[in-house]
Amino acid sequence: MQLYTYFRSSASFRVRIALNYKGLGYEPVSIDLPKGEHRADAYRAVNPQGLVPTLVDRDHRIVQSLAILEYLEERYPEPPLLPSDPLDRAYVRALCGVVACEIHPLNNLRTLKHIRKAYGLDESGVNAWYRHWIAAGFEVIEGFLGSERRHGRYCLGDQVTLADCCLVPQVFNAKRYDCDLVPYPAAMRIFDACMLLPAFDAAQPARQPDAA
């Protein structure tokens, strides 16, 4: 398998965790986002959306991190990253959705670039935007964990799931922007527990070959 990735890309990080957890070897192909390599024709030929990650498995290209995670789960089910109970699966997917559909799109590179340019925001204005949506999203996550009461060591009891694959990279992004994460103790306990696992540790930005 090949994974088109960028070390700081949290959507790529989600997939790196799942590949590691399932013991699936892959060749990372770095796409330098700050240099704009994702918008170049060469990469658009791989992924017309011009976003990372893209997974290539036996000549099949799969885009969108959540679709890739679900593909990996269906194609390589052991060890599982989704529980068997339908309600537990819905809970896990709901947490994935909060991260991937509600937090991340508001804070990714092209969104930040657009608000900077279109509304003349300076660095502190962009950072305030970023931190606002992190706080709003993590409040939802913390509230959801608290009201559902299904978490244990990880988001779902003591079983590692796709929810953890999504949560951990988002925490990395939040830390990079110096967001205050103290108000989210349950999420942060889960983060700390995940980072003790080799699959998560090896997937983190600093451990990637393209890390600066």
Backbone angles phi, psi at 192, to 5 degrees: -60, -40
Identify which range of 6-14, 16-24, 147-155, 187-195 contacts ligand GSH by CB under 6 A. 6-14
Minimum gap (Å) between residue 146 Cβ and ligand GSH: 26
108 binds ligand GSH (CB under 6 A): yes
Q: Provide the 3-class DSSP secondary structure of residue 59.
A: coil
100 binds ligand GSH (CB under 6 A): yes
Cα 9 vs. chain centroid, distance in angstroms? Answer: 8
b (16+ CB within 10 A) / e for 85-122: eeebeebbbebbebbbeebbebbbeebbeebeeeeebe
Nearer to ligand GSH, 20 or 193 (CB): 20
Minimum gap (Å) between residue 153 Cβ and ligand GSH: 26
109 binds ligand GSH (CB under 6 A): yes
Q: Which residues pair with 60 in a beta bridge?
A: 57
Task: Of 39, 187, 162, give the one whose Cα is nearest residue 96.
Answer: 162
Nearer to ligand GSH, 16 or 38 (CB): 38
Residues between 39 and 68 with contacts to ligand GSH, criterion CB under 6 A: 51-53, 64-66
Minimum gap (Å) between residue 64 Cβ and ligand GSH: 5
Nearer to ligand GSH, 53 or 137 (CB): 53
Helix ranges (H only) for the chain are: 10-21, 41-44, 65-75, 86-97, 104-107, 109-118, 123-148, 162-176, 185-194, 198-203
72 binds ligand GSH (CB under 6 A): no
Residues that bind ligand GSH (CB under 6 A): 9-11, 33, 38, 51-53, 64-66, 100, 108-110
